[in-house]
Homo-oligomer: A and B are copies of this chain.
Amino acid sequence: MIVVMETTATREQINGVMARVKALGLGAHLSEGEERTIIGVVGSPLPPSLDDELEIHSGVERVVRITKKYKLTGWDFHPQKTRISVRDVVIGGDAVTVIAGPCSVESEEQTVETARAVKAAGASILRGGAYKPRTSPYDFRGLGRRGLEILATARKETGMPIITEVMTPSDIEAVAEFTDIFQIGARNSQNYLLLEEVGRAGKPVMLKRGLSLLLEEWLLAAEYVMAQGNPDVILCERGIRTFETATRNTLDVSSVPVIQGMSHLPIFVDPSHAAGKRALVPALALAGIAAGADGLMIEAHPNPDQALSDGAQSLTFQEFADLMPRIAAVAEAVGRSLPAAADIMRVPA
Protein backbone atom coordinates (compact mmCIF):
# COMPACT_ATOMS: atom_id res chain seq x y z
CA MET A 1 0.00 0.00 0.00
CA ILE A 2 1.29 3.43 -0.91
CA VAL A 3 0.43 6.57 1.00
CA VAL A 4 0.88 9.72 -1.07
CA MET A 5 1.29 12.77 1.16
CA GLU A 6 0.14 16.23 0.08
CA THR A 7 2.78 18.62 -1.22
CA THR A 8 2.11 20.72 1.86
CA ALA A 9 2.34 17.84 4.36
CA THR A 10 4.38 18.69 7.46
CA ARG A 11 7.04 16.56 9.07
CA GLU A 12 4.65 15.99 11.96
CA GLN A 13 1.92 14.71 9.66
CA ILE A 14 4.33 12.37 7.95
CA ASN A 15 5.49 11.04 11.30
CA GLY A 16 1.89 10.61 12.37
CA VAL A 17 1.17 8.27 9.48
CA MET A 18 4.43 6.36 10.01
CA ALA A 19 3.56 5.91 13.68
CA ARG A 20 0.06 4.66 12.94
CA VAL A 21 1.32 2.12 10.44
CA LYS A 22 3.91 0.83 12.86
CA ALA A 23 1.36 0.67 15.69
CA LEU A 24 -0.53 -1.85 13.53
CA GLY A 25 2.56 -4.04 13.34
CA LEU A 26 3.23 -3.16 9.72
CA GLY A 27 6.34 -1.82 8.02
CA ALA A 28 6.56 1.76 6.71
CA HIS A 29 9.16 2.89 4.19
CA LEU A 30 9.67 6.59 3.66
CA SER A 31 10.48 7.94 0.20
CA GLU A 32 10.98 11.69 0.01
CA GLY A 33 10.79 13.13 -3.48
CA GLU A 34 11.39 16.67 -4.59
CA GLU A 35 7.73 17.50 -4.69
CA ARG A 36 6.20 15.16 -2.22
CA THR A 37 6.72 12.31 0.20
CA ILE A 38 5.45 8.81 -0.29
CA ILE A 39 5.15 6.12 2.36
CA GLY A 40 5.19 2.47 1.39
CA VAL A 41 3.27 0.17 3.74
CA VAL A 42 4.23 -3.50 3.85
CA GLY A 43 3.11 -6.48 5.87
CA SER A 44 0.73 -9.34 5.45
CA PRO A 45 -2.15 -9.43 5.67
CA LEU A 46 -2.99 -5.75 5.41
CA PRO A 47 -6.26 -4.91 7.19
CA PRO A 48 -8.91 -4.70 4.43
CA SER A 49 -9.95 -1.15 5.32
CA LEU A 50 -6.47 0.18 5.96
CA ASP A 51 -6.59 2.36 2.87
CA ASP A 52 -9.74 4.08 4.06
CA GLU A 53 -8.27 4.58 7.48
CA LEU A 54 -4.98 6.08 6.35
CA GLU A 55 -6.67 8.28 3.79
CA ILE A 56 -8.21 10.45 6.48
CA HIS A 57 -5.02 11.22 8.36
CA SER A 58 -4.12 14.85 7.98
CA GLY A 59 -1.56 15.51 5.28
CA VAL A 60 -2.52 12.43 3.29
CA GLU A 61 -3.61 13.06 -0.27
CA ARG A 62 -4.34 9.56 -1.44
CA VAL A 63 -3.77 5.92 -0.55
CA VAL A 64 -3.18 3.37 -3.27
CA ARG A 65 -3.79 -0.28 -2.57
CA ILE A 66 -1.39 -2.52 -4.44
CA THR A 67 -2.57 -5.94 -3.40
CA LYS A 68 -5.99 -7.22 -4.34
CA LYS A 69 -8.76 -7.51 -1.77
CA TYR A 70 -10.00 -10.82 -3.12
CA LYS A 71 -8.00 -13.97 -2.57
CA LEU A 72 -9.78 -17.29 -3.01
CA THR A 73 -11.38 -16.17 -6.25
CA GLY A 74 -8.11 -14.87 -7.73
CA TRP A 75 -5.47 -16.64 -9.77
CA ASP A 76 -2.72 -16.07 -7.21
CA PHE A 77 -3.70 -18.93 -4.99
CA HIS A 78 -5.47 -21.05 -7.58
CA PRO A 79 -3.59 -21.10 -10.88
CA GLN A 80 -5.91 -23.69 -12.50
CA LYS A 81 -9.22 -22.74 -14.00
CA THR A 82 -12.09 -24.11 -11.93
CA ARG A 83 -14.09 -26.96 -13.44
CA ILE A 84 -17.33 -27.99 -11.81
CA SER A 85 -19.02 -31.32 -12.38
CA VAL A 86 -22.77 -31.40 -11.98
CA ARG A 87 -23.99 -34.92 -12.60
CA ASP A 88 -22.88 -35.57 -16.19
CA VAL A 89 -22.16 -31.98 -17.07
CA VAL A 90 -18.76 -30.34 -16.75
CA ILE A 91 -18.80 -26.56 -16.39
CA GLY A 92 -15.66 -24.54 -17.14
CA GLY A 93 -14.07 -27.00 -19.55
CA ASP A 94 -13.58 -26.68 -23.29
CA ALA A 95 -17.25 -27.11 -24.02
CA VAL A 96 -19.67 -24.28 -23.38
CA THR A 97 -22.72 -25.11 -21.31
CA VAL A 98 -26.22 -23.91 -22.11
CA ILE A 99 -28.68 -23.66 -19.24
CA ALA A 100 -32.24 -23.12 -20.40
CA GLY A 101 -35.78 -23.22 -19.13
CA PRO A 102 -38.70 -21.08 -18.09
CA CYS A 103 -38.35 -18.01 -15.91
CA SER A 104 -40.90 -19.44 -13.45
CA VAL A 105 -42.01 -22.98 -12.89
CA GLU A 106 -45.75 -22.68 -13.55
CA SER A 107 -46.90 -26.27 -13.87
CA GLU A 108 -45.52 -29.77 -14.32
CA GLU A 109 -46.66 -29.87 -17.91
CA GLN A 110 -45.05 -26.54 -18.80
CA THR A 111 -41.78 -27.45 -17.09
CA VAL A 112 -41.37 -30.97 -18.40
CA GLU A 113 -42.36 -29.89 -21.88
CA THR A 114 -39.78 -27.11 -21.78
CA ALA A 115 -37.10 -29.42 -20.40
CA ARG A 116 -37.64 -31.87 -23.23
CA ALA A 117 -37.60 -29.13 -25.85
CA VAL A 118 -34.45 -27.39 -24.68
CA LYS A 119 -32.67 -30.68 -24.15
CA ALA A 120 -33.55 -31.81 -27.65
CA ALA A 121 -32.04 -28.59 -28.94
CA GLY A 122 -28.82 -29.10 -27.01
CA ALA A 123 -29.20 -27.47 -23.60
CA SER A 124 -27.62 -29.47 -20.81
CA ILE A 125 -29.00 -27.93 -17.60
CA LEU A 126 -32.59 -26.97 -16.79
CA ARG A 127 -33.40 -23.67 -15.09
CA GLY A 128 -36.70 -22.66 -13.51
CA GLY A 129 -37.77 -20.40 -10.66
CA ALA A 130 -39.74 -21.76 -7.74
CA TYR A 131 -39.10 -18.74 -5.52
CA LYS A 132 -39.20 -15.54 -7.56
CA PRO A 133 -37.97 -12.10 -6.49
CA ARG A 134 -40.39 -9.55 -7.91
CA THR A 135 -40.03 -5.79 -7.89
CA SER A 136 -43.67 -5.41 -6.87
CA PRO A 137 -45.24 -7.33 -3.98
CA TYR A 138 -48.35 -7.75 -6.10
CA ASP A 139 -46.67 -9.89 -8.77
CA PHE A 140 -46.66 -13.70 -9.02
CA ARG A 141 -43.96 -15.01 -6.74
CA GLY A 142 -43.52 -18.64 -7.64
CA LEU A 143 -44.91 -22.01 -6.62
CA GLY A 144 -42.40 -22.51 -3.81
CA ARG A 145 -41.82 -26.11 -2.72
CA ARG A 146 -44.28 -27.40 -5.31
CA GLY A 147 -42.10 -25.76 -7.94
CA LEU A 148 -39.04 -27.60 -6.62
CA GLU A 149 -40.87 -30.92 -6.89
CA ILE A 150 -41.82 -30.16 -10.45
CA LEU A 151 -38.19 -29.40 -11.32
CA ALA A 152 -37.19 -32.74 -9.81
CA THR A 153 -39.78 -34.46 -11.96
CA ALA A 154 -38.42 -32.74 -15.04
CA ARG A 155 -34.92 -33.89 -14.10
CA LYS A 156 -36.14 -37.44 -13.71
CA GLU A 157 -37.84 -37.31 -17.10
CA THR A 158 -34.90 -35.85 -18.98
CA GLY A 159 -31.78 -36.51 -16.93
CA MET A 160 -30.91 -32.83 -16.93
CA PRO A 161 -29.40 -31.36 -13.76
CA ILE A 162 -31.40 -28.44 -12.43
CA ILE A 163 -30.64 -24.97 -11.14
CA THR A 164 -33.05 -22.78 -9.19
CA GLU A 165 -32.89 -19.62 -7.15
CA VAL A 166 -32.84 -19.38 -3.39
CA MET A 167 -33.77 -16.04 -1.87
CA THR A 168 -33.46 -16.39 1.88
CA PRO A 169 -31.54 -18.59 4.34
CA SER A 170 -34.62 -20.37 5.64
CA ASP A 171 -35.34 -21.77 2.17
CA ILE A 172 -31.87 -23.24 1.69
CA GLU A 173 -32.69 -26.57 3.24
CA ALA A 174 -35.72 -27.12 1.05
CA VAL A 175 -33.96 -26.00 -2.10
CA ALA A 176 -30.91 -28.14 -1.29
CA GLU A 177 -33.14 -31.18 -1.14
CA PHE A 178 -33.93 -30.80 -4.83
CA THR A 179 -31.54 -28.58 -6.74
CA ASP A 180 -28.19 -29.44 -8.29
CA ILE A 181 -26.98 -25.83 -8.38
CA PHE A 182 -28.10 -22.92 -6.23
CA GLN A 183 -28.73 -19.66 -8.03
CA ILE A 184 -28.27 -16.36 -6.20
CA GLY A 185 -30.04 -13.56 -8.01
CA ALA A 186 -28.75 -10.10 -8.82
CA ARG A 187 -30.76 -8.44 -6.04
CA ASN A 188 -29.19 -10.76 -3.47
CA SER A 189 -25.65 -10.50 -4.77
CA GLN A 190 -24.58 -8.64 -1.64
CA ASN A 191 -26.88 -10.44 0.79
CA TYR A 192 -23.85 -11.69 2.65
CA LEU A 193 -25.53 -13.94 5.18
CA LEU A 194 -27.37 -15.73 2.40
CA LEU A 195 -24.08 -16.13 0.53
CA GLU A 196 -22.42 -17.64 3.57
CA GLU A 197 -25.22 -20.03 4.33
CA VAL A 198 -25.49 -21.18 0.76
CA GLY A 199 -21.71 -21.60 0.80
CA ARG A 200 -22.12 -24.14 3.58
CA ALA A 201 -24.82 -26.13 1.80
CA GLY A 202 -22.38 -28.27 -0.17
CA LYS A 203 -23.56 -27.67 -3.71
CA PRO A 204 -22.36 -25.46 -6.57
CA VAL A 205 -23.54 -21.87 -6.53
CA MET A 206 -24.18 -19.58 -9.48
CA LEU A 207 -23.81 -15.95 -8.46
CA LYS A 208 -25.46 -13.41 -10.72
CA ARG A 209 -23.86 -9.99 -10.94
CA GLY A 210 -25.74 -7.26 -9.10
CA LEU A 211 -26.93 -4.36 -11.24
CA SER A 212 -24.39 -1.96 -9.77
CA LEU A 213 -21.60 -4.31 -8.76
CA LEU A 214 -18.03 -3.50 -9.70
CA LEU A 215 -16.10 -6.56 -10.79
CA GLU A 216 -13.99 -6.55 -7.65
CA GLU A 217 -17.12 -6.39 -5.50
CA TRP A 218 -18.55 -9.29 -7.42
CA LEU A 219 -15.48 -11.40 -6.71
CA LEU A 220 -15.64 -10.38 -3.06
CA ALA A 221 -19.25 -11.59 -2.96
CA ALA A 222 -18.07 -14.91 -4.43
CA GLU A 223 -15.38 -14.85 -1.78
CA TYR A 224 -18.12 -15.05 0.88
CA VAL A 225 -19.26 -18.35 -0.63
CA MET A 226 -15.76 -19.75 -1.10
CA ALA A 227 -14.65 -18.74 2.40
CA GLN A 228 -17.12 -21.37 3.67
CA GLY A 229 -15.09 -24.06 1.97
CA ASN A 230 -17.17 -24.22 -1.19
CA PRO A 231 -14.93 -24.04 -4.28
CA ASP A 232 -17.74 -24.43 -6.82
CA VAL A 233 -18.86 -20.94 -7.73
CA ILE A 234 -20.05 -19.91 -11.18
CA LEU A 235 -20.34 -16.21 -12.05
CA CYS A 236 -23.09 -14.98 -14.36
CA GLU A 237 -23.12 -11.60 -16.07
CA ARG A 238 -26.70 -10.43 -16.65
CA GLY A 239 -26.35 -6.75 -17.38
CA ILE A 240 -25.66 -3.66 -15.34
CA ARG A 241 -27.70 -0.55 -14.80
CA THR A 242 -26.65 2.35 -16.99
CA PHE A 243 -28.33 5.39 -18.51
CA GLU A 244 -29.31 3.39 -21.59
CA THR A 245 -32.96 2.31 -21.51
CA ALA A 246 -33.28 0.60 -24.88
CA THR A 247 -32.49 -2.68 -23.15
CA ARG A 248 -33.61 -3.63 -19.67
CA ASN A 249 -29.99 -3.63 -18.56
CA THR A 250 -26.73 -3.12 -20.40
CA LEU A 251 -24.96 -6.42 -20.98
CA ASP A 252 -21.37 -5.74 -19.95
CA VAL A 253 -19.83 -8.24 -22.32
CA SER A 254 -16.36 -6.98 -21.42
CA SER A 255 -16.80 -8.46 -17.98
CA VAL A 256 -16.17 -11.88 -19.51
CA PRO A 257 -12.54 -11.34 -20.53
CA VAL A 258 -11.84 -9.02 -17.59
CA ILE A 259 -13.09 -11.54 -15.02
CA GLN A 260 -11.14 -14.26 -16.78
CA GLY A 261 -8.03 -12.18 -16.20
CA MET A 262 -8.84 -11.80 -12.52
CA SER A 263 -10.35 -15.12 -11.53
CA HIS A 264 -10.28 -18.85 -12.18
CA LEU A 265 -14.05 -19.16 -11.79
CA PRO A 266 -16.26 -20.01 -14.77
CA ILE A 267 -18.30 -17.09 -16.09
CA PHE A 268 -21.64 -17.31 -17.86
CA VAL A 269 -23.76 -14.77 -19.68
CA ASP A 270 -27.53 -14.41 -19.28
CA PRO A 271 -28.75 -12.64 -22.42
CA SER A 272 -32.43 -12.93 -21.47
CA HIS A 273 -32.42 -10.74 -18.37
CA ALA A 274 -30.00 -8.25 -19.89
CA ALA A 275 -32.09 -7.76 -23.01
CA GLY A 276 -35.54 -7.91 -21.52
CA LYS A 277 -36.78 -8.43 -25.08
CA ARG A 278 -36.97 -11.67 -26.94
CA ALA A 279 -35.73 -10.28 -30.25
CA LEU A 280 -32.39 -9.24 -28.76
CA VAL A 281 -31.59 -12.53 -27.02
CA PRO A 282 -29.87 -14.29 -29.96
CA ALA A 283 -27.43 -11.44 -30.68
CA LEU A 284 -26.45 -11.15 -27.03
CA ALA A 285 -26.12 -14.90 -26.60
CA LEU A 286 -23.76 -15.09 -29.57
CA ALA A 287 -21.79 -12.08 -28.37
CA GLY A 288 -21.33 -13.70 -24.97
CA ILE A 289 -19.92 -16.88 -26.46
CA ALA A 290 -17.71 -14.93 -28.87
CA ALA A 291 -16.32 -12.98 -25.90
CA GLY A 292 -15.30 -16.25 -24.28
CA ALA A 293 -18.09 -17.07 -21.82
CA ASP A 294 -18.13 -20.59 -20.41
CA GLY A 295 -21.83 -20.84 -20.87
CA LEU A 296 -25.20 -19.19 -21.26
CA MET A 297 -28.40 -19.06 -19.29
CA ILE A 298 -31.40 -18.55 -21.59
CA GLU A 299 -35.10 -18.39 -20.90
CA ALA A 300 -37.47 -20.46 -23.01
CA HIS A 301 -41.19 -21.03 -22.60
CA PRO A 302 -43.85 -23.03 -24.47
CA ASN A 303 -45.97 -19.91 -24.86
CA PRO A 304 -44.11 -16.74 -23.89
CA ASP A 305 -47.16 -14.55 -24.48
CA GLN A 306 -48.84 -16.20 -21.52
CA ALA A 307 -45.89 -16.68 -19.19
CA LEU A 308 -46.52 -15.69 -15.57
CA SER A 309 -43.21 -13.80 -15.43
CA ASP A 310 -40.74 -12.34 -17.88
CA GLY A 311 -42.49 -13.67 -20.94
CA ALA A 312 -41.19 -10.71 -22.90
CA GLN A 313 -37.70 -12.10 -22.85
CA SER A 314 -38.40 -15.83 -23.21
CA LEU A 315 -37.72 -17.60 -26.48
CA THR A 316 -40.23 -19.97 -28.02
CA PHE A 317 -39.03 -23.54 -28.48
CA GLN A 318 -38.61 -22.86 -32.17
CA GLU A 319 -36.55 -19.75 -31.57
CA PHE A 320 -34.40 -21.62 -29.07
CA ALA A 321 -33.90 -24.53 -31.48
CA ASP A 322 -32.92 -22.09 -34.22
CA LEU A 323 -30.42 -20.36 -31.97
CA MET A 324 -28.54 -23.40 -30.72
CA PRO A 325 -26.76 -24.30 -33.98
CA ARG A 326 -25.65 -20.69 -34.25
CA ILE A 327 -24.26 -20.86 -30.72
CA ALA A 328 -22.45 -24.04 -31.67
CA ALA A 329 -20.98 -22.36 -34.74
CA VAL A 330 -19.70 -19.35 -32.82
CA ALA A 331 -18.35 -21.61 -30.06
CA GLU A 332 -16.34 -23.49 -32.67
CA ALA A 333 -15.16 -20.24 -34.24
CA VAL A 334 -13.59 -19.28 -30.93
CA GLY A 335 -12.11 -22.69 -30.22
CA ARG A 336 -14.83 -24.02 -27.94
CA SER A 337 -17.56 -26.52 -28.61
CA LEU A 338 -21.18 -27.17 -27.74
CA PRO A 339 -21.96 -30.76 -26.77
CA ALA A 340 -24.03 -32.30 -29.54
CA ALA A 341 -27.66 -32.69 -28.61
CA ALA A 342 -27.35 -36.44 -29.09
CA ASP A 343 -24.53 -36.66 -26.56
CA ILE A 344 -26.60 -35.23 -23.83
CA MET A 345 -29.79 -37.10 -24.55
CA ARG A 346 -28.75 -40.12 -22.49
CA VAL A 347 -30.91 -40.26 -19.41
CA PRO A 348 -28.74 -41.59 -16.58
CA ALA A 349 -29.93 -44.88 -15.25
Contacts and interface: CB of A to CB of B under 8 A. Distances in A.
Interface of A: 2, 4, 7, 20, 29, 31, 33-36, 38, 40, 42, 44-45, 48-49, 52-53, 55-57, 62, 64, 66-67, 69-70, 76, 133-140, 167-170, 187-188, 190-194, 196, 210-212, 214-215, 217, 220, 223-224, 227, 240-247, 250-258, 261, 274-275, 277-280, 283-284, 286-292, 304-312, 326, 329-330, 332-334
14 contacts: A45-B138, A48-B136, A49-B311, A53-B307, A240-B250, A246-B255, A247-B254, A250-B252, A251-B252, A287-B291, A329-B334, A330-B330, A330-B334, A332-B333
Nearest to A185: B190
Contact of A243 (B168, B241, B261, B305): B241
Contacts of A312: 52-53, 55-56
A212 B212 contact: yes
A310 B53 CA distance: 8
A308 B53 CA distance: 9
A246 B254 contact: yes
A133 B192 contact: yes
Contacts of A190: 133, 135, 187-188
Nearest to A71: B138
Contacts of A215: 244, 246
Contact of A134 (B170, B192, B212): B192
Contacts of A252: 242, 244, 250-251
Q: State the oligomeric state as a number of copies.
A: 4
A64 B63 CA distance: 10
A329 B247 CA distance: 28
A240 B240 CA distance: 12
A249 to B, nearest CB: 9
Contacts of A217: 135
Contacts of A242: 240, 242-243, 250, 252
A25 to B, nearest CB: 15
B56 A311 contact: yes
A272 B247 CA distance: 23
A214 to B, nearest CB: 6
A312 B38 CA distance: 20
Nearest to A222: B137
A292 B138 CA distance: 31
B251 A240 contact: no
A317 to B, nearest CB: 15
